[in-house]
Amino acid sequence: MRRRTSLRTGLFLCTALLAAGPAPLAVAAGADGGGTALPGVPERLAPDQACTKVRGTVTAAAPWTRDLLGLDQVWRLSRGRGVTVAVVGTGVSDDAAVLRGRVEALGAAGKDCVGRGTFQAGLAAGAALPGQGFSGVAPEARVLAVRGTGERGEPDPARLAAGIREAAEAGADVITVTAPLDGSDRRVREAMAAARARDALVVVPAAADSVPRGSSSAPPPAPVAPADALAVLDTGPQGTRPAAAPPFRHADLSAPGGALMGPGPVGDGKWTASGSSLAAAVTAGTAALVRAYHPELNAAEVRVRLLKGAYPGDLPALDPYGAVSGVSAGAHPPRTDGAAGASGRPAPVRLPEPPETAGARSTAYLVTGVAAGTILLVAFLAVVLPRGRKRRWQPGRLDAEGRPAE
C-alpha cells in the first residue's frame, strides 16, 4: 500500500505491543537520539490483575502521527469544537490532563480500570496543552464515555451494541468502539439503526487489536462490519501492518494505529499501544473535525468525505486535511456492499476572511502623495526663490555654452 511516510523527528515508537496481560514497555526515540520508555496500555486485564495505576511517562515529544496526518495544518480550519465523540469501550477517566473537564460519562463509564478507553479518547479528542507535543486529532471536541466491555475489558458483544445505541441516544455525533462489529448480528443491526436515526457516524476497527496469547492456530478474520459503519484498519509509521497482525475481511480506510502515544487513566504521563481500535479512534477524531467545519453534512456524507479526501492506494489512507478541506488526492470507488452515502464534489476550502484594507490603502496612498508633493515644492522653492530675487524676477539668459548666465 502506498502511503506518505514523512515522520516527525520528535518521537518514533518502535515497538508494536501485545495488548493483554501486564503492561510492557516501549521505547520512544527523541530528537536528541535518546530514548524515552513508555508503558504499554493493556487491552484487557487478567482476572488477578489490579486496575492500571502506573502514571505513564511525562514527555514533551510529539508523536509521529502529528506530521504524518498534517494536524497543524488542518487545525487552522477545524479543531472539532461543538462536536461530541463517544468512546464505547472500557470507560474514560478524566484524570489525564488532556481530558480533564471534557468527559461526560454514562453510568459507570467514568471509571477506566483498564486504561484502553482513556487512551482512545485521548487519540480522538485530547486537548492541546502548553509544553506537550501530544494532542488528540480534534482537541476541542468533547468526549462521551460509554461502557462497552466488562469492567476489566472483557469482550461483550451485547454490551458493545447496547453502548452504540446509548451513545446515539445521548447525542453523540461520532461513535467509535473498542472491538470489531459483526454486521450480521441482530443486536448490532438494531444499534446501527438507532445511530442512523440520530445521525451519528459509527467508526469501527476492521480487525482485532491483538492475537489471543497461547493460541496454537491462526485466529479467524474479524467479521465484516455493517455497511454504513466506517471500518478502519491500523497501519504503522511506514504505512504497513506487521505480518502477524490480526486478520480482517473488509476495511474501508486505513489510519495510524501502530505504536501510538496517548494518555493513560492516571496522571499526565503518556503511554503507547497498537491496534485497529486506535486507528478507529484517530479516524473518529477526524470525523469530528469534518462535522465541526461542515455542520450541514449528515453522517453518511461525512463518511463519504473521509473516503474521498483520503490518499489513494490499495486501501485509502486517512488524510484529515483532505477530508476537511475537500482537497483530495484522488477519488475512491464506492463500497460494493451497499453502504449509503452522498455524492458530488466536496466544497472548496473556506479560509478566514481577510480584514478590509481598501480604505486604509487609499489613505496611505493619499498621505504618501501629499508628503512627496510637499518635499518637491520645498525643494523647488529653495532653488527658485533665491535666483528670482537676485535677478529681480527678470527672465534668465543663457551664455554661449547654453548655461544659465548670472
Q: How many CA atoms lie within 13 A of 235 on its CB side?
A: 25
In a domain, residue 285? The reply is yes
Examine the domain organization and report whether 180 and 247 are in the same domain: yes
Q: What are 308's three cell numbers?
A: 474521498
**How would residue 150 be classed by pLDDT, with cut points 50, 70 and 90?**
very high
**DSSP one-letter code for 101:** T
284: nearest Cα among 240, 334, 235, 318: 318
C-alpha cell at 324: 476537511
Comparison of pLDDT for 239 and 122, the residue scoring more: 122
Least confidently predicted of 16-25, 194-203, 289-298: 16-25
| DSSP assignments along 22-65, one per residue | S--EEEEE-TTS-EEEEEBPPSB--TTPPPP----B---PPPTH
The mean of the pLDDT values for the chain is: 81
pLDDT on residue 267:
84
Report residue 309's pLDDT band, with 50, 70 and 90 as the boundaries: very high
Residues 153 and 21 in one domain: yes
**Residue range 165-174: mean pLDDT, rounded:** 98
Q: In what order do the strands lie in the sheet with 25-29?
A: 12-13, 25-29, 35-39
Whether 357 is covered by a domain: the verdict is: no
Q: Within this chain, do residues 55 and 110 fall inside the same structural domain, yes or no?
A: yes
CATH number, domain containing residue 35: 3.40.50.200
User: Rounded to whole angstroms, how far apart are CA atoms 185 and 56?
Assistant: 38
The answer to whether 44 and 178 have CB atoms below 8 angstroms apart is: no
Q: Do the domain assignments include residue 332?
A: no
Provide mean pLDDT across the span 137-145.
98
What residue has cell string 513508555?
38
The answer to whether position 320 is within a domain reads yes
At residue 302, φ and ψ (nearest 5 deg) are -65, -40
Q: What's the chain's length in residues?
A: 406
Residue 22 resides in a domain: yes
Instruction: Please indicate, yes or no, whether residues 171 and 318 belong to a single structural domain of this protein.
Output: yes
pLDDT at residue 176, as a whole number: 98
Please check the confidence at residue 345 and state whether its pLDDT lies above 60: no
The pLDDT confidence band at residue 211, using thresholds 50, 70 and 90, is confident
Question: Which has more pLDDT, 365 or 250?
Answer: 250
Domain boundary pick from 300, 325, 350: 325
pLDDT above 50 (res 341): no
Per the domain annotation, does 367 fall within a domain?
A: yes
* Percentages of the chain per state (helix, strand, coil), in multiples of 5: 30, 15, 55
- Reported as a single tens digit per residue, the pLDDT across 82-107 is 999 999 999 999 998 999 999 999 99
Q: Are residues 319 and 366 in the same domain?
A: no
Q: Which of 325, 343, 373 is the last residue of a domain?
A: 325
- Does a structural domain hold residue 275? yes
379 & 306 share domain: no
Answer yes or no: do 260 and 383 share one domain: no
Average pLDDT over residues 157-171: 98
- Average pLDDT of the segment spanning 133-161: 97
Q: State the DSSP code for 71.
A: H
Report pLDDT digits (tens) over 260-295.
Answer: 999 999 888 999 999 999 999 999 999 999 999 999
Give me the number of domains the chain comprises: 2
Q: Among candidates 248, 250, 239, which has minimal Cα distance to 317?
A: 239
pLDDT, one tens digit per residue, over 46-78 is: 999 999 988 899 999 999 999 999 999 999 999
Are 258 and 383 found together in one domain?
no
| Angle 30-133-129 from CA coordinates, rounded to 5° | 150
Helices (H), 70-218: 71-74, 116-125, 157-169, 186-197
What whole-number distance in Å separates Cα of residue 176 and Cα of residue 116? 13
**Residue 309 lies in domain:** 12-212+219-325
Residue with cell 486496575: 51
Give CA–CA dist 325/340, Å, rounded.
Answer: 22
pLDDT of residue 268: 86
